[in-house]
């Protein structure tokens, strides 16, 4: 007999009402977790995470555009200093 099976044999049998109560409590917790993740007529964690990722992508793109513009302006200033135009 495996160690796990022996462990479960030592657990006293639980009355049906107690087990039903525990299972209904577990079911209620799972329902609350599902509602938090998916949302129920309000944004859930999944939608909020998608929005955050989209905002981060936009922010990253804007920062790269600003960095590219800054490098271009700096290169133009250096070019003018070198050529003296």
22-78 pLDDT per residue, tens:
888 899 999 999 888 888 888 889 999 999 999 999 999 999 999 999 999 999 999
Residue 28 DSSP symbol = H
Of the two residues 71 and 4, the one the predictor is more confident about is 71
Question: By the 8 A CB rule, do 46 and 38 touch?
Answer: yes
Residue ranges in the chain assigned as alpha helix (H)? 3-10, 16-38, 45-83
Q: Residue 50 and residue 39: Cα distance in Å, rounded?
A: 13
For the chain, strand residue ranges (E) read none
Find the length of the chain. 85
């Amino acid at each position: 007999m495996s160690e796990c099976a022996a462990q479960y044999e030592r657990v006293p049998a639980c009355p049906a009402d107690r087990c039903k109560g525990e299972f209904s409590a577990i079911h209620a917790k799972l329902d609350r977790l599902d509602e938090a993740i998916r949302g129920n007529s309000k944004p859930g964690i999944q939608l909020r995470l998608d929005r955050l990722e989209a905002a981060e992508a936009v922010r990253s793109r804007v920062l790269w555009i600003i960095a590219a513009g800054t490098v271009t302006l700096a290169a133009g200033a250096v070019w003018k200093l070198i050529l003296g135009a």
